[in-house]
Chains A and B, each alone.
Chain A
Amino acid sequence: MEIRKINSSVITDTVKKLFMDMNYFIGEDILTALKNAEETEISPTGKSVLAQLIENHKIAAEEEVPICQDTGMAVLFVEYGDKVVIENGSFEEAVQEGIRRAYIDGYLRKSVVTDPVFDRVNTKDNTPAIIYTSIVPGDKIKILAGCKGFGSENMSSIKMLTPSAGIEGVKKFILDTVKYAGPNPCPPVVVGVGIGGTFEKAAMLAKKATLRPIDTKNPNERYAALEEELLTEINKMGFGPAGLGGINTAIGVNIETFPTHIAGMPVAVNICCHAARHKETEI
């Protein structure tokens, strides 16, 4: 395969459009799930909340304004083809410039602060974005991206379970995490679960799981069944839309897994609000 040259401005423009679009236009998977939830919801308040969320998506799309004021911290999973060479700049800087332009030109909220503990001064352009890159064969760049609000991010958790905990331990930790989050993370939520790998791999898998469309299943039958079982259990908790009661506390549970160590079974739960904004593109 030939070397493919890509101008850094192409990366910047693509990232900019990706983040503006995902903030204005909710994905079909989420909108369909909210409409289904509105139909099934038995709590009148819950039903009314869902109707308002659907109306909110309509307004955001029509006026091209953000769905939620928390336009999040930008996270990108990149599959970078090993035949690609970036011209006129670096890949990293081109992505950050795309984020900068999306958040400034797109009227998105700038929510990132420099130092996490001492200064906490806003960077004013929502950079830096968090970029996870893997090198793959080929001459394409694939980007899976999300903008993660922190109302739900703060309700996420990780636990280094050990093998004896078994499937019951996994289920308990996931359900306990959702229960502890209660009404805070803007239910109905999307629950991203990462199981296996190391400490940080499980967390990354959980994040990636929140970016997978909720109308898809884990390709492994046993995990697909677990996704469904957990969704049913979560919806028995009663938190409901906006935490005001009802049978729709979650609209999706996505599980991603990875091989792990003989001594371990890490489980990470990344909770995402109902405004689960994710988008994929290929350059």
Chain B
Amino acid sequence: MKKINLPLTDDAINELKAGDSVLISGVMITGRDAAHKRLYELIEKNEELPVNIKGEVIYYVGPAPAKPGHAVGPAGPTSSYRMDKYTPALLDRGLKGMIGKGARNQEVIDSMIKNHVVYFAAIGGAAALISKSIKKVEVLAYEDLGTEAIYQFEVEDFPAIVAIDAQGNSVLAK
């Protein structure tokens, strides 16, 4: 089990190989369908984004509400392919990592190689377990989207697997 810290350096990304089990610590941002659509539309219009994505890792998640006394509700990954349409534009703007579940299309993989980006898979459906590694949550943008807002997650030993590395090697079964 490799321990890695955020933000990811290019050297750290080089060390990550498809199939590696990792524990991630540090600060990541979140975003799923609706937030991606908004970010993409801003990029299309060449406008400023409401959050900094350069050098960041984004987690595709829409958490359940937190019970009193919990930092966050269950928060497992959502299917990544729905973000494929928007992803290359975000990677061109400097996003360095993605966490989700399931397959990516070839355009995303090509853009990952070009921009030196890594894609992690978290375990879909292990939401209560994963939420244990999320220590602090803050809304960064698009609060009106509720669960689909962009949050900042402070994580400690967040469990994931390198699904596609920056060289384009994949561990996902075909």
Q: Which residues of A contact B (CB under 8 A)?
A: 45, 48-49, 52-53, 55-56, 59-60, 63, 65-71, 107-111, 120, 122, 124, 151, 154, 182-186, 237-240, 242-246, 273-275
Chain A minimum-CB-distance residue to B34: A120
Q: How many residues of B contact A (CB 8 A)?
A: 40
Interchain CB contact under 8 A, B125 and A65? no
* Cα distance, A109 to B147, chains bound together (Å): 8
| Complex contact A65–B174 (CB within 8 A) | no
- A68 and B163 CA atoms in complex are apart in Å by 21
B35 at the interface (CB under 8 A from A): no
Tell whether, in the assembled complex, residue B76 and residue A68 are in contact, meaning their CB atoms are under 8 Å apart: yes
With A55-B129, A110-B146, A182-B173 as known contacts, state yes or no: A49 contacts B123, CB within 8 Å. yes
Assembled-state Cα–Cα distance A108/B159 (Å) = 23
Question: What are 28 A-B residue pairs whose CB atoms fall within 8 Å in the complex?
Answer: A52-B129, A56-B125, A56-B127, A56-B129, A59-B128, A65-B67, A65-B70, A68-B74, A68-B76, A68-B125, A69-B61, A69-B74, A70-B62, A110-B147, A124-B146, A151-B78, A151-B79, A151-B124, A182-B103, A183-B101, A183-B172, A238-B173, A243-B103, A243-B172, A243-B173, A244-B171, A244-B173, A245-B171
CB distance from B75 to the nearest CB of A (A): 5
B26 contacts the other chain (CB 8 A) = no
The 8 closest A-B pairs by CB, nearest first: A184-B102, A186-B124, A56-B129, A109-B64, A59-B128, A60-B128, A56-B126, A69-B64
The chain A residue sitting closest to B174, CB to CB, is A182
Within 33-62 of B, Cβ neighbours of A (below 8 Å) are at 34, 61-62
User: Do the beta carbons of B128 and A53 come within 8 Å of each other?
Assistant: no
Q: Contact residues of B with A, CB < 8 Å?
A: 19, 21, 34, 61-67, 70, 73-76, 78-79, 81, 101-103, 121, 123-129, 131-132, 146-147, 159, 161, 163, 171-174
Cα–Cα distance between A70 and B126 once the two chains are bound (Å)? 11
A107 touches B172 (CB 8 A): no
Whether A67 contacts B74 in the complex (CB less than 8 A), given A183-B173, A242-B123, comes out as yes
The 8 Å CB contact of A59, one of B21, B123, B129, is B129
Complex interface: chain A residues within 8 A of B21 (CB):
45, 48
Contact in complex: A184, B79 (CB < 8 Å): yes
Closest CB in chain B relative to A31 CB, distance in Å: 13
Chain B residues within an 8 Å CB radius of A53: 123, 125-126
Residues of B near A49 (CB, < 8 A) are 123, 126
Q: Bound complex: CA of A110 vs CA of B73, how far in Å?
A: 12
